[in-house]
Amino acid sequence: MKYTPEKVLDLDPYNMAGGIYNFLDDLNLAMETQIDIRPKFNKILVCGMGGSAISGDILADCIYSDYNYPVIVQRFPELPKWLDDETFIIVASYSGNTRETLALYDDAMEKGFKVTVITAGGQLLERAENDGLFILKMMPGLQPRCAVGYSLGLMLKLMDQIGGTSFKVQIGKIMPKLKKFREELASNRSVAWEIARRINGRTPTIYSTPEMSSSAIRWKTQINENSKMMAFSGLMPEFSHNDISGWSEGSVRESCVPIFLYEERMSKVKKKAMDAAIEVLRGYDVVPMVVKIRGKSTTEKLLRSVMIGDYVSLYLAYINGVDPSEVASISELKTRLGKILPYSKTKPKRRIISKGQK
């Protein structure tokens, strides 16, 4: 299926293709941000929803194997009880008006935790400025789900500053390869087009190893929003303990498709587990899609996987004849949630500026 520029303009009037293409450029730009804070911490909580939360998920996967502190992503608008003085909180909302995130911000400030804010504006920016916090300002004018590259870049650069990581150096080394890969994905004959054609008309479930789970979630959410399709994500080896029964004997075999994000470099144990799952499915006449993910490091594999999934979702939207930018149902639901979660139920009784945050 070939699309002329005129046809693409008709299907994609708000240029979601451009937002997806700019993922790497936004990542690069954000990582040039100057950051000058040094909080003491032994764990990190990222508070956010949607693309902001996905950035936190990717960050957590990037540091999972190599660093000695956990990164946890909190989406529900209530802080967990285990937080303490050694917790560093990142509150992220592109619009700055996400009600769940604002509720988490107010709670964190009232309890005096160390907080840094990532936003492009809105209520969150206003509150953080009033509270004298360190703010990582995002580039305005983006689709929120297209801001993942920028928010991820800020989080990775923040980790370089406060956690002793070297993501800027790592990503700088692999960026030429990633940009070449982007050109391949943006062509009419890319692997993303082939995957989209094979998915079309069926509901995908994207499976990955634990350290690639954030990219599987990103595939799911991008297919949900851009393609206007149901999609799910799952983990190996959990697949082998429950999902396999549904695929082998359930009623979803014709209407759904399993997709495995298959890392070309992974441990022998993980490879054997994934190979076994794929072979069992084939034995039950289920044909899974195996998407090979290249990369020497977890970070490179995650970025490549995210890029593939973004383009798959875009091409599925084109094939289905839907506008990938339009999300009327989400807007309607947010309006209804506004009656349940106002911007602030009450003004916090006290605002505490954590030491080292100015």
The answer to whether residues 277 and 236 touch, using CB atoms and an 8 Å cutoff, is: yes
First to last CA, the chain: 54
Q: Can you tell me the distance from the alpha carbon of 109 to that of 113, in angstroms, rounded to the nearest whole number? A: 6
Per-residue b/e over 273-294, b at no fewer than 16 CB within 10 Å? bbeebbebbeeeebebbebebe
Q: What's the token pair of residue 247?
A: 């695929």
Edge-first strand listing for the sheet containing 71-74: 71-74, 43-47, 87-93, 114-119, 134-137
Q: Please give the order of strands across the beta sheet that includes 289-293.
A: 232-235, 203-208, 256-263, 289-293
Which position among 81, 241, 268, 339 bears the catalytic label? 241
Does the active-site annotation cover 225?
A: yes
Active-site position among 168, 228, 271, 334: 334
Active site residue 254: no
H-helix or E-strand spanning residue 185? helix 167-185
Q: Which residue type is seen at 137?
A: K
Residue tagged active-site, from 157, 211, 220, 225: 225
Query: For this structure, is 183 an active site residue?
Result: no
Tell me which residues are annotated as active site: 225, 241, 334
